């Protein structure tokens, strides 16, 4: 695997536009754990349902929500996924259970999260060198705030921009521009760090993609 030395890559940049999911922590173990916890509660009322049928219902609801909320932060809303999953099953809105399943999902997800090893040394390095760090992330704000608080990095982050507040998802220039306007800096002062070749990119800002790389600070 290729090794990447972040401090060298960002040397001449004043602003770091940092992705969150699958960049500073690993998403899949948290998501899998959270869905299993949701299933444990969900199956109590439906004795015979298998995990696979539950997953299928979840995936179908997710597809429906994504179709309605294309390119918006709400397209990731677990609350909406569970709402649709239960509506499809009951042919009406199931208020309390929707709220409960969404709460269990995020409480479990956040409990399971751990920060990647390079992140704190990297953020300390940014602070020491007076660089500004803006989290630029798809998804809804409340959840992303909870993740940052749980990961213990809030004191290193200057701003956050979510696709919920920007009204559009990455890689739209709108979301990166909003991040830069909060700092009062131009595109050439910034660099994007993320995990996705299709999301963490902008026509005017250089990107560093960490996927499948060994990160050192």
- CB nearer to Mg ion: give 37 or 170: 170
Minimum CB–partner distance for residue 152 and Mg ion (Å): 19
- CB nearer to Mg ion: give 164 or 195: 195
Minimum CB–partner distance for residue 4 and Mg ion (Å): 16
Q: Decide: is 169 part of the binding site for Mg ion (CB under 5 A).
A: no
What track of x and - describes contact with Mg ion for positions 2 through 41 (by CB under 5 A)? -----------------x-xx-------------------
Q: Report the C-alpha gap between 87 and 71 in whole angstroms.
A: 23
DSSP string, 117-178: TTHHHHHHHHHHTT-EEEEEESS-HHHHHHHHHHHT-GGG-SEEEEHHHHSS-TT-HHHHHH
Minimum CB–partner distance for residue 195 and Mg ion (Å): 4
Q: Decide: is 195 part of the binding site for Mg ion (CB under 5 A).
A: yes
Minimum CB–partner distance for residue 199 and Mg ion (Å): 6
Q: Report the C-alpha gap between 94 and 98 in whole angstroms.
A: 6
116-122 contacts, C-beta under 8 A, 24 or more apart: 116/23, 116/24, 116/25, 116/26, 116/215, 118/6, 118/215, 118/216, 118/217, 119/24, 119/151, 119/153, 120/153, 120/156, 121/217, 122/6, 122/7, 122/215, 122/217
Size of site (CB under 5 A) for Mg ion: 4
Minimum CB–partner distance for residue 17 and Mg ion (Å): 12
- CB nearer to Mg ion: give 22 or 185: 22
- CB nearer to Mg ion: give 169 or 195: 195
What residue has token string 């902008």? 202
- CB nearer to Mg ion: give 49 or 208: 208
Minimum CB–partner distance for residue 23 and Mg ion (Å): 5
Among the listed residues 20, 8, 22, the one whose alpha carbon sits nearest the alpha carbon of residue 161: 20
- CB nearer to Mg ion: give 83 or 196: 196
Which spans of this chain sit near Mg ion (rule: CB under 5 A)? Answer: 19, 21-22, 195
């Amino acid at each position: 695997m290729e090794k990447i030395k972040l401090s060298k890559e960002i040397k001449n940049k004043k602003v770091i536009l940092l992705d969150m999911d699958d960049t500073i922590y690993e998403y899949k173990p948290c998501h899998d754990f959270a869905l299993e916890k949701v299933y444990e509660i969900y199956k109590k009322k439906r004795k015979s349902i298998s995990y696979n049928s539950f997953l299928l219902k979840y995936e179908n609801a997710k597809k429906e929500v994504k179709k309605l909320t294309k390119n918006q932060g709400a397209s990731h809303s677990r609350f909406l996924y569970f709402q649709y999953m239960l509506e499809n099953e009951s042919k009406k809105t199931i208020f309390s259970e929707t709220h409960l399943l969404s709460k269990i999902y995020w409480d479990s997800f956040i409990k399971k999260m751990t920060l990647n090893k390079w992140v704190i040394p990297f953020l300390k390095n940014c602070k020491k060198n007076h660089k500004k760090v803006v989290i630029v992330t798809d998804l809804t704000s409340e959840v992303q705030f909870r993740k940052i608080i749980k990961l213990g990095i809030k004191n290193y982050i200057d701003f956050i921009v979510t696709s919920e507040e920007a009204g559009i998802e990455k890689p739209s220039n709108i979301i990166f521009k909003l991040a830069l306007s909060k700092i009062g800096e131009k595109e050439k002062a910034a660099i994007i760090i993320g995990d996705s070749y299709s999301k963490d990119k902008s026509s005017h800002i250089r990107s560093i993609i960490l996927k499948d790389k060994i990160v050192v600070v």
